[in-house]
A = this chain, B = another copy of it.
Amino acid sequence: MAAVAVATRGWRLLLVLSTAGVAAAGARQPPNILLLLMDDMGWGDLGVYGEPSRETPNLDRMAAEGMLFPNFYSANPLCSPSRAALLTGRLPIRNGFYTTNAHARNAYTPQEVVGGIPDSEFLLPELLREAGYTSKIVGKWHLGHRPQFHPLKHGFDEWFGSPNCHFGPFDNRAKPNIPVYRDWEMVGRFYEEFPINLKTGEANLTQIYLQEALDFIRRQQARQRPFFLYWAIDATHAPVYASRPFLGTSQRGRYGDAVREVDDSVGRILRLLRDLSLAENTFVFFTSDNGAALVSAPEQGGCWSLSSWLPSEWAQTTHTSESTVWPPAEQKGLPWSGSLQAGGSNGPFLCGKQTTFEGGMRVPAIAWWPGHVPAGQVSHQLGSIMDLFSTSLSLAGLKVPHDRTVDGLNLLPAILQGQLVDRPIFYYRGNTLMALTLGLYKAHFWTWTNSWEEFKQGIDFCPGQNVSGVTTHTQEEHTKLPLIFHLGRDPGERYPLSFGSAEYQDVLGRITPAVQQHQEALIPGQPQLNVCNQAVMNWAPPGCEKLGKCLRPPESVPEKCSWPH
């Protein structure tokens, strides 16, 4: 395996050098690239996307000065696969970020997972290096936390952030707390050196991540070298947090406080670019890894396996309406399973994170590049987070690797010339193609929100939304006669086209060959999210000795990861 990886790497270098374009020829310094990736932020969370409290003036201004994409999609309804897809330009089914442990299951990289980003994948920063870029990741990596998956082994030159989610654990007992790295070494752990107050929601992490970004931009400007900054912050992922000046300032509660701080930070970053006269030479793109988490249950989407480690204060914070309710729910017939979690909005779309409905995968997206991207534009291009890979390479004057399928599209013709390219959007769970969007039509081949067992426990990924036959709690197959929606007339996926209509037949006739072509050419990657092992957790990350923070790992017991939805 290692030998193969080395061989691939050598060949890759040749490939990239041979395809280097204008920029590498030294004619002109290519633009800096700044990807602002939000965590669980929904399509409907920005004022410019219709959020009623209108608390995102900086992002709304970014849209007014740039280009808004109303039809932009993540590559998966869950974080790790979506992020792997962004950095590789390839669907999770190709780059290995999926599971085959059960049918149509979402999977990610909790710290017990053994897998991570394969060496055989080309990551964006590795490729950009060939065009002279210096790359930094600030925030959540989520492509594997074992040594071979470290971001600095995959093309980044700098890292400040965490390998896994910040949602827990909190006490280093059953699992180690998640480490925070500066480059190769951990510099502390969440809930220890990097506190997040679960009662008040206070944490200054976004401010730290902001300073990391501003500092990096300033340093690169001084060096006069092109940079790639991947700002992957997580304040809007549960448990959502904000620093003290923002706490309690939003009409939307704690989630809104987090959004306000994110918005303010984006404003500061764009302002610095202007102040340093970098704005016209920096391509900035804002988006989110998946739709907003609409979980109405005590536990959070994606964090379901961690409930046994939840400390008592976390339970108190989030379970209030269950534990203190009066009179008891049963007496009133009221929706007490629907207690409010701090989560975002998917606007008019159905369901949220974890699902392959529009609310799970349609995300906010704004391109900003003063002097290049015309102001105040809206592009109806169907876009994907994977396009950021191909678009960034194009900006750098590089070509995409031609030895493999790349799903990402170069968006520059859409952004700079207003061109529209017909392309499909694929919605996967695990290795199951759940749905496909082609133009304005979306076909569901499988529907599933989550199991009846989970749903009856109160875990609901579509709270307040129930479309009979669509938001199903058994895995319903529709491969022969897909449920087809017209997303223009019916963005909320409420009214499937009639099977007998001419419109249905016409659409089916176009969708069928698109699916066949995709599936015939598909070479699935080795699934990375099948095996879990308590021994691989962050017990003793590099640097732990200096801090006296090394923990003792348990015995190695590989087992199949459990992915319940």
Cα A348 to Cα B345 in complex, Å, equals: 8
Q: Are the CB atoms of A464 and B501 closer together than 8 Å?
A: no
Residues of A contacting B: mostly = loop
Any B CB within 8 A of the CB of A490 = yes
Q: Are the CB atoms of A335 and B468 closer together than 8 Å?
A: yes
B-contacting residues, A41-91, CB 8 Å: 44, 47-54, 64, 68, 70-71
Q: Are the CB atoms of B50 and A340 closer together than 8 Å?
A: no
Q: Decide: A464 near B494, CB < 8 A? Known: A50-B51, A488-B250, A488-B251.
A: yes
Which of A180-188, A326-334, A411-419, A448-456 is found at the contact surface with chain B? A326-334
Q: Are the CB atoms of B44 and A348 closer together than 8 Å?
A: yes
Any B CB within 8 A of the CB of A469 = yes
B-contacting residues, A111-161, CB 8 Å: none
Any B CB within 8 A of the CB of A433 = no
Q: Are the CB atoms of B320 and A496 closer together than 8 Å?
A: no
Q: Are the CB atoms of B327 and A463 closer together than 8 Å?
A: no
Cα A451 to Cα B499 in complex, Å, equals: 30
Chain B residues positioned under 8 Å from A251 (CB to CB) = 380, 440, 488-489
Distance in angstroms from A436 CB to nearest chain B CB is 18
Chain B residue nearest to A253 (CB atoms) is B489
Give per-residue flags for A335-350: 1 if the beta carbon is below 8 A from chain B beta carbons, else 0.
1011110100101101
Chain B residue nearest to A469 (CB atoms) is B334
Cα A44 to Cα B491 in complex, Å, equals: 11
Chain B residue nearest to A322 (CB atoms) is B498
Chain B residues positioned under 8 Å from A334 (CB to CB) = 468-469, 483, 496
Chain B residues positioned under 8 Å from A70 (CB to CB) = 52-54
Q: Are the CB atoms of B50 and A50 closer together than 8 Å?
A: yes
Distance in angstroms from A508 CB to nearest chain B CB is 13
Chain B residue nearest to A53 (CB atoms) is B488
Any B CB within 8 A of the CB of A486 = yes
Chain B residue nearest to A378 (CB atoms) is B54
Chain B residues positioned under 8 Å from A320 (CB to CB) = 498, 501
Interface size class of A (residues with CB under 8 A): 35 or more
Q: Are the CB atoms of A498 and B50 closer together than 8 Å?
A: no
Chain B residues positioned under 8 Å from A493 (CB to CB) = 464
Chain B residues positioned under 8 Å from A68 (CB to CB) = 54
Give per-residue flags for A437-465: 1 if the beta carbon is below 8 A from chain B beta carbons, else 0.
00010000000000000000000000111
Chain B residue nearest to A52 (CB atoms) is B70
Any B CB within 8 A of the CB of A492 = yes
B-contacting residues, A259-313, CB 8 Å: 296
Chain B residues positioned under 8 Å from A51 (CB to CB) = 50, 348
Q: Decide: A326 near B499, CB < 8 A? Known: A465-B464, A483-B334.
A: yes
Q: Are the CB atoms of B256 and A335 closer together than 8 Å?
A: no
Cα A463 to Cα B464 in complex, Å, equals: 11
Chain B residues positioned under 8 Å from A499 (CB to CB) = 325-327
Any B CB within 8 A of the CB of A321 = yes
Cα A253 to Cα B380 in complex, Å, equals: 16
Q: Are the CB atoms of B440 and A489 closer together than 8 Å?
A: no
Chain B residues positioned under 8 Å from A335 (CB to CB) = 467-470, 494-496
Any B CB within 8 A of the CB of A26 = no
Chain B residues positioned under 8 Å from A470 (CB to CB) = 335
B-contacting residues, A327-375, CB 8 Å: 327, 332-335, 337-340, 342, 345, 347-348, 350
Chain B residues positioned under 8 Å from A347 (CB to CB) = 44, 50, 52, 347-348
Cα A494 to Cα B339 in complex, Å, equals: 9
Any B CB within 8 A of the CB of A252 = yes
Any B CB within 8 A of the CB of A539 = no
Q: Decide: A324 near B501, CB < 8 A? Known: A345-B348, A464-B492, A468-B335.
A: yes
Distance in angstroms from A376 CB to nearest chain B CB is 9
Give per-residue flags for A487-528: 1 if the beta carbon is below 8 A from chain B beta carbons, else 0.
111111111111111000000000000000000000000000
Chain B residues positioned under 8 Å from A50 (CB to CB) = 44, 48-51, 347-348
Q: Decide: A491 near B326, CB < 8 A? Known: A347-B347, A466-B466, A468-B338.
A: no
Any B CB within 8 A of the CB of A228 = no
Given A321-B495, A321-B497, A464-B467, 13 more A-B residue pairs with CB atoms under 8 Å apart are A48-B50, A50-B50, A52-B71, A52-B347, A250-B488, A252-B488, A253-B489, A324-B500, A327-B499, A334-B483, A335-B467, A335-B495, A463-B467
